[in-house]
A and B are shown apart, each in its own frame.
Chain A
Amino acid sequence: MDDSLETKEDAVLRVMNLSVDFDVKGNNVSILSKVNFGLGLGETLGIVGESGCGKSMTALALLRMVPSPPGKISDGEVLLNNLDLMTLSQKEIKKIRGKEISMIFQEPMTSLNPVFTVGNQLVETILEHKDLSRADALKEAIELLRLVQIPAPEQRIKEYPHQLSGGMRQRIMIAMALVCEPKVLIADEPTTALDVTVQAQIFDLLKEIQAKTQMSIILITHDFGAITEMADRVIVMYAGYKVEEGTLDEIRNSPLHPYTQGLLRSMLVIKPDSSGFKMPLPEIPGSVPDLLNRQPGCPFGPRCSQATVKCRSMPPNFNLGFKRSVKCWLVDNGRVE
């Protein structure tokens, strides 16, 4: 039985077999390989992995924003309430972007256009999706800034991005994403560029808004700390594959894939020992595989300490229960997702 593939009524977004290929000097390179997941109402799904594992590409692919050329979505379905986003026309997908599914990015410093005021960029988003007068849109923009807890919004709205701090700009980005009360918010490393205290504030804000609006969030990050803070469920990605999926508890307390285990070990709490020297953090030996020259078999194999002969062939996603799967021969129970 395929629990994780079964349609649940709470699934806002269902992603099936999503694959992205890049054309690198005439070679077809697979950046994302048959990724599956679902997203429930009001749920926060964390996608975690090293840089280059395809997590940002997943986000871009959901909104069909893969840079093309050289990239293209080669396969898969993305169902938003049973509407397949992959089959929409350019015009239709534009109506989804920013309205049904919004996105915020890693670099609040550069994600806002430097030559327009904050208000201008907010109002333009509102006018794109709503049939309002300019004055009403401006009022709504101020309300949105209030929602994301920006002090003195009437003043801020006239300012340019460079006049604001990083945390402030990320709040603006969030406000912009909330214009149409989207069903899904994709947050791609939303706090990586920010100070630790500001990070916590942004997460609190997101949780608060989520509680109010029942919005679902996809949080993309390389930082397991952020995942612990925010996520209900977690997907671990490696080299364009989903290698493990489970609830936050399952992933944190009983990780099954050797890569997930390594990832968790490398971020254990650092305790200074008595001599005053830091213990070196255990790291995963090796580095992310060169996607141009993929070896057959398990993508993590060459770096895996528990690899066996079996790992020379590609492991399937073994299903361990509802929305719980591992792509590793070690857990071979014969139930393939």
Chain B
Amino acid sequence: MKQAIFQRIFLGIVMITAVIILNFFLLHAAPGDVVDAMLAEGGGGDPELAARLRASYGLDEATHIQLIKYLGQVFRGDLGYSFYYDQSVTELLLGHLPTTLMLTISALILAVVFGTLFGVYAALKPKGIFSNFVTVLSLFGYATPVFWLGMIILLVFALYLPLFPAFGIRSLPEPEHAVGRILDIIHHLVLPTFTLAILYLASYSRISRASMLDVLGSDYIRTARAKGLSETKVIFKHSLKNAAMPVVTLAGLQLAQVFSGAILVETVFSLPGVGPLLYESIVRRDFPVILGVLFGAASTTIIANIITDLIYKYMDPRIQSIT
């Protein structure tokens, strides 16, 4: 078990290194370098100054030496400097990632919990109305672009029925009490989280219905019934855990996708997350930030994958003994 965890962490570090290497080459492929960006912010400069600056940044060295230096730099937590924001990329990321992560994780948890419950309930009456509802919901969940859904939800719940704020994450002026401030943030996050969650909820409910139907037909459920257990116990103890497993696996695998969805949702709801940062940086062609976001997003996914792996191992004892 311990060995498996270490192996998993080692693989994670290798992956992160690979992301850094990819970043390095993308940075090289990008038009212009740090010096160009610097000089552009300063309103242009002469070639001699540029050459001197390049030498001081080590940009005239061989590619592999630059790569090694870059790796060392990133592992020390230095992702470069944004001349547009006049801030280090690491600071920028640390400022924007939490919002995106909060959105991603709360949406995923909502989707997994309610998706599983919907699916389980639908499986109890596979031909009932609710089961059909799950089918239709999952079709719409598959077919609806998340950014468009966000806009429609904004139109309905912020414009026509002004129940929720339309933009941002805080009211101005902010409430005075700490509790008030937290409630205010939650109030702002309701619509974006709901937008992101509902699409995944839709697909998870269908998956959990299928796995619940499988589980309900299994031999161990027959055993549980033959032992005289109550139906509540049969469903909530013996079926739920087994039926939830495929959903948890899928949620782990889809984390990177949900992160992508969160970026779109943030753009629609103007949340100060990674989405608008990335969008703005692309418009400004601020490559250190763009690649920093890619690095941040990938490392978060890698770490989250390790965590879901561990959760999965905890849930299913069969896996523990194999690895």
Contact = CB atoms under 8 A, between A and B. Distances in A.
Q: Do A and B bind each other?
A: yes
Interface stretch (B14-22, B95-103, B106-114, B223-231): B223-231
B187 interface: no
A328 to B, nearest CB: 34
From A98, A112, A176, name the one whose CB has the most chain B CB atoms within 10 angstroms. Answer: A98
A99 B226 CA distance: 10
A65 B222 contact: yes
B242 A63 contact: no
Interface string B303-323: 000000000000111100100
Interface string B213-241: 00000111011111111100100011001
Given A113-B242, A115-B241, A115-B315, A99 B228 contact: yes
A114 B223 contact: no
A94 interface: yes
B317 A176 contact: no
B17 to A, nearest CB: 36
B229 A128 contact: yes
Contacts of A259: none
A114 B228 contact: no
Given A110-B218, A115-B241, A160-B318, A105 B223 contact: yes
Interface size class of B (residues with CB under 8 A): 20 to 34
A207 interface: no
Q: Give the secondary structure class of B's interface.
A: helix
Given A63-B226, A102-B226, A103-B226, A111 B321 contact: no
B219 A65 contact: no
Contact of A162 (B223, B224, B241, B317): B317
Tell me which of A95, A114, A129 has the highest count of chain B C-beta atoms within 10 A of its own C-beta.
A114
Nearest to B127: A69
Nearest to B238: A113
B227 A97 contact: yes
Contacts of A129: 228
Q: How large is the interface on A (under 10, 10 to 19, 20 to 34, 35 or more residues)?
A: 20 to 34
A66 B218 CA distance: 14
A163 B230 CA distance: 27
Contacts of B219: 105, 107, 110-111
B125 to A, nearest CB: 10
A162 B321 contact: yes
A96 B229 CA distance: 11
A115 B225 CA distance: 17
Contacts of A50: none
A124 interface: yes
Contacts of B224: 113
A125 interface: yes
A173 interface: yes
Nearest to A173: B223
Contacts of A107: 219
Residue picked from B218, B220, B227, B316, most chain A C-beta under 10 Å: B227
B228 A97 contact: yes
Contact of A97 (B226, B233, B316, B318): B226
Interface in A73-113: 94-99, 102-103, 105, 107, 110-113
B239 to A, nearest CB: 9
A123 to B, nearest CB: 12
Interface string B20-35: 0000000000000000
Contact of A111 (B220, B230, B233, B315): B220
Given A114-B317, A115-B241, A94 B220 contact: no
Contacts of B225: 65, 97
A164 B241 CA distance: 21
Contact of B226 (A98, A116, A117, A162): A98
Contacts of B222: 65, 105, 111
5 contacts: A97-B228, A114-B242, A125-B229, A128-B230, A160-B318
Q: Which 6 A-B pairs have the closest CB atoms?
A: A98-B228, A97-B228, A98-B227, A110-B219, A113-B220, A103-B226
